[in-house]
Amino acid sequence: MITVSAHKVRQFGVEFYQASFTASDIDRLVQFEVLGYGAAEGPRGKARRRSRINWELLERRISRGEGAFQRPLIHRKIEELLQYYRECQEAGNLPAIPGAVIIIAERRLQFTSGAANPSLGLLKIPEEPGILRALDGQHRLLALHAAAQELKGLEVPAVVFDNLDDRQVVELFVTINAKHTRLNPSHLISLAGRRLYTDENQALAHDIIRGLNEAESSPLRGEIRILGVGRGKVSQAPLADEIVELLETVQKIGGAGRVRELREGARRFFLNYFKAIAAAFPQAWVGRKYSIKTGTALRAFIRVSPDVMAAARESKKDPFDAAAIRQAVSPWSERIGDSRFETEGSWRQKLAGGTRGTVETLVRELRDTLRYR
């Protein structure tokens, strides 16, 4: 067990710790992993021989797995960091790693508060290889690993999270890299749900929304910001929450067989479903003065999707079939109409009426109208 002094910080209901680790602690405890990493990506030939880094040893320290989301290594960056560390060591007038790296613990850690201040105390970490993962600062830590013997006494400031679920870890990673270090957007968007989330429902929700945003035939193509990236005006997160809740509800009510059927057909269903919605409200879907492609409206359509599937089934048709879905939602055209989504018309009146145009308000209207098929 390794014990370090720590400061417990609380922000918006999330707790984390500020601490410092020695270079040897980092070397023993932190797991390094990247997406799409291979030994062939490193320096070759004379460049490898001239390097002061033992790349073969470093490559053996890095793993690649389905759960990895870190970008491939920038070898030049590690070389430059290592050179900078050595210059700091020789000059003795600058810190080598003044900013905190961000580390995720694989399980909850034990924190013992001090008597004088409950926010200050000791953090105990099991001495197990790979119990910590680098979320931000992996290049800094790999450069430190490459020179572990000569930089043994170096202390590294760190922020440690031990209570984040998979989705929070991904959101934190994206927030840091997409908005601050400008990680290549194509890397973020290319991450499939199964790489980002261990939870099956969260992974599927990500892939459904990504499909809606990328498929050439999708009426939502380019309209959604995937992982905070893109020109779309609608965020992925609230839509994903709706889909996850939908999957969980279907599993509770319909059982394993029904949710398995939905998982297998979900990508096809939602693509056909939003095509049917666009056809039901043709003016609103393409018009600039409508609010049909807002987060509120899209969440409502997702929430009422089980009713649409049920309506298709009542007609003894495949609930994922495009024609069956179009027939199920056909009453929306006549009984709700495009005008419901006019930003300065019905939409704003709902807001002024005290309901704030909530998701549930629209869900009730859509659900009630399905009865008039």
Q: Give the pLDDT band (50/70/90) at residue 21.
A: confident
Report d(CA 46, CA 23) in Å as an integer. 30
Global model pTM greater than 0.85: no
Please indicate, yes or no, whether residues 62 and 108 belong to a single structural domain of this protein. yes
Residues 6+ apart with CB under 8 A from 242: 299, 302, 303
pLDDT interval class at 74 (50, 70, 90)? low
**Is residue 357 left, alpha or beta, with left meaning phi > 0 and alpha meaning psi from -120 to 50?**
left
Measure CA 48 to chain center.
35
Question: Is 352's pLDDT higher than 80?
Answer: no
Within-domain flag for 190? no
pLDDT in tens, 287-302: 989 999 988 999 999 9
CA distances to 94, 169, 189 from 136, in Å: 21, 11, 18
Both 333 and 252 in one domain: the answer is: yes
Pick the closest to residue 315 from 324, 305, 306 (CA basis).
Answer: 324
Q: Establish if 170 belongs to a structural domain.
A: no
Same domain flag for 240 and 116: no
**What is the span of the domain harbouring residue 85?**
2-164
Task: Identify the residue whose tokens are 């495949």.
Answer: 318
Q: Are residues 93 and 144 in the same domain?
A: yes
Same domain, 208 and 300: yes
Residues 128 and 272 in one domain: no
Residues 70 and 218 in one domain: no
Regarding whether 257 and 109 lie in a shared domain, the answer is: no
Does residue 213 belong to any structural domain of this protein? Answer: yes
Q: What is the mean pLDDT of residues 33-47?
A: 47
- For residue 178, being part of any structural domain is answered with no
Please tell me the total count of domains within the chain.
2
Angle at 189 between CA 201 and CA 42, to 5 degrees: 115
SS3 category, 25 = helix
Same-domain check for residues 230 and 324: yes
Strands 120-125 and 2-11, how do they pair? antiparallel
Domain termination site, one of 164, 185, 207:
164
In a domain, 191, yes or no: no
The pLDDT assigned to 299 comes to 93
Query: DSSP string spanning 244-260?
Result: HHHHHHHHHHHHHHHHH
